[in-house]
Every structure is written in structure tokens, then in C-alpha cells.
Chains A and B, each alone.
Chain A
Amino acid sequence: GAGVSQTPSNKVTEKGKYVELRCDPISGHTALYWYRQSLGQGPEFLIYFQGTGAADDSGLPNDRFFAVRPEGSVSTLKIQRTERGDSAVYLCASSPDAANEQFFGPGTRLTVL
């Protein structure tokens, strides 16, 4: 079946702009996660959704970052007033529930000029 998909695959933006990154999880997966990965590092947790609600947003670096999952399926990560330090690969993962393996999408590479 279809895996986790993310769009766009690449996004180049200018400092100060607003961006939205989209994640389509595997159908039926209730748990959805966002991670951010900088070059040469492992992924770092940003936020976790169980259904429509953000069960854990402790990894969001500041209030410029926000994510939604209004219908419990597709999720959008929103970044306001982008900074060069936001440049990274943003990874989305989904899971049938919160205690099992996570299935990752291919990521969105965000470059802030």
C-alpha cells in the first residue's frame, strides 16, 4: 500500500517568509509525528499527534512553529517568519498507535536563504 508522503520534496524560501509543509500519513494510522533533521545529525522530535490533537508539542523550537491535523489524517507544519537556522529536512512519520514502529516519509528539504 501507499506509504507516508510529504510535499513539497524541496522548498526554497527567503528569510522572513511563511511556509507550509504537508504530510499524508498511511491510511488508518492514528499517530503522526514531525521530526527535523539537520545535516550530519539524527532526527529531532518536534510534535506528536494522536488523532486530531497534539499530544506532545514539546519539541517545537519556538512559537514560529505550529502544526495542525484537523481531520486526524493529513497534517500541515507551518513555520512563520522563517530564519536561516530553520533550514533542514523535515520528516513526517505515522504509526498505527503510539507504541510501535514509525513509518517515515521521504522528507521535505527546506532551505531558507
Chain B
Amino acid sequence: SQQGEEDPQALSIQEGENATMNCSYKTSINNLQWYRQNSGRGLVHLILIRSNEREKHSGRLRVTLDTSKKSSSLLITASRAADTASYFCATDLNYGGATNKLIFGTGTLLAVQP
């Protein structure tokens, strides 16, 4: 089963604009991760935010986490055509210590028009 749901399912923007994707989940987590996938194959890790963190930055990426609302957002600033991909959030569940699997959401398909 999939715990996370991304919103929107699809997003189309112009190059240079910002893109915001949201993720909601159901159970308590150790951390939440965002991944990018091109052409339905290998996933690339973008950023990991732990349950005790509220915001994290990496280059043009900004991730927020609200554990009280069980939600996260990924902001991509100054988008480029190369950012076109599917974006997934994945939760690492709180098993009281070492965790062992990621539960992925359904993904947001981002299209950046040149």
C-alpha cells in the first residue's frame, strides 16, 4: 500500500517559474525523502528531512515538513527544462529505531516548458 499522496498529480509551468509540490502521509515517520525519476526508471535522491526538522534547503530546492499536519512540500525555484520529471515523496516509518523501507507516494509529474 502507498502511504503518501502527492498533490498535484501533474504540473506544467514555464521555465524560470517556481514549482511547488505537496505530499501528505498517514502515520508517524522517522524521515521524509524526495526523489526525482526520469523516464520511469532509476530514482535520484534529492533531499532528506528528519522528523525533528522543519525546513531544509539544497541548491534550488526547499523542503518543509509539518509533522502535526503530516505533510511536506517541495519547492523548486527558477525551474529549468531539465527539471521535467516525476517527483515522489517517500516516508521512512517510525519503527522505534532502525527503519528499513520507504513508502512512496503516487508522484507529481512536472513539465517545465522552455
- Out of A44, A56, A105, which one reaches B100, CB within 8 Å? A56
Residues B40 and A89 in contact, CB atoms below 8 Å apart: yes
The minimal Cβ–Cβ distance linking A29 to chain B, given in whole angstroms, is: 13
B72 at the interface (CB under 8 A from A): no
B78 at the interface (CB under 8 A from A): no
Rounded to whole angstroms, the CA-CA distance of A101 and B102 in the bound complex is: 10
Stretch at the interface among A17-25, A35-43, A65-73, A79-87: A35-43
Q: How large is the interface on A (under 10, 10 to 19, 20 to 34, 35 or more residues)?
A: 20 to 34
The minimal Cβ–Cβ distance linking B45 to chain A, given in whole angstroms, is: 5
Most chain B beta carbons < 10 A, residue from A44, A56, A102? A102
Rounded to whole angstroms, the CA-CA distance of A49 and B92 in the bound complex is: 16
B44 at the interface (CB under 8 A from A): yes
Give the number of chain B interface residues (Cβ < 8 Å): 26
A59 at the interface (CB under 8 A from B): yes
When distances are taken between beta carbons in the complex, the residues of chain A under 8 Å from B4 are 42
When distances are taken between beta carbons in the complex, the residues of chain A under 8 Å from B43 are 43, 91, 93, 104
Rounded to whole angstroms, the CA-CA distance of A35 and B31 in the bound complex is: 19
The minimal Cβ–Cβ distance linking B51 to chain A, given in whole angstroms, is: 11
Residues A50 and B104 in contact, CB atoms below 8 Å apart: no
A51 at the interface (CB under 8 A from B): no
Residue of A nearest to B50 (CB): A99
The minimal Cβ–Cβ distance linking A103 to chain B, given in whole angstroms, is: 7
- Out of B35, B100, B106, which one reaches A48, CB within 8 Å? B100
- Out of B30, B41, B98, B107, which one reaches A89, CB within 8 Å? B41
Rounded to whole angstroms, the CA-CA distance of A55 and B37 in the bound complex is: 27
The minimal Cβ–Cβ distance linking A104 to chain B, given in whole angstroms, is: 4
The minimal Cβ–Cβ distance linking B73 to chain A, given in whole angstroms, is: 17
Which residues of chain A (74-113) have a CB below 8 Å from chain B?
A: 89, 91, 93, 97-107
The residues of A with any CB-CB pair to B shorter than 8 Å are 31, 33, 35, 37, 39, 41-45, 48, 50, 55-56, 59, 89, 91, 93, 97-107
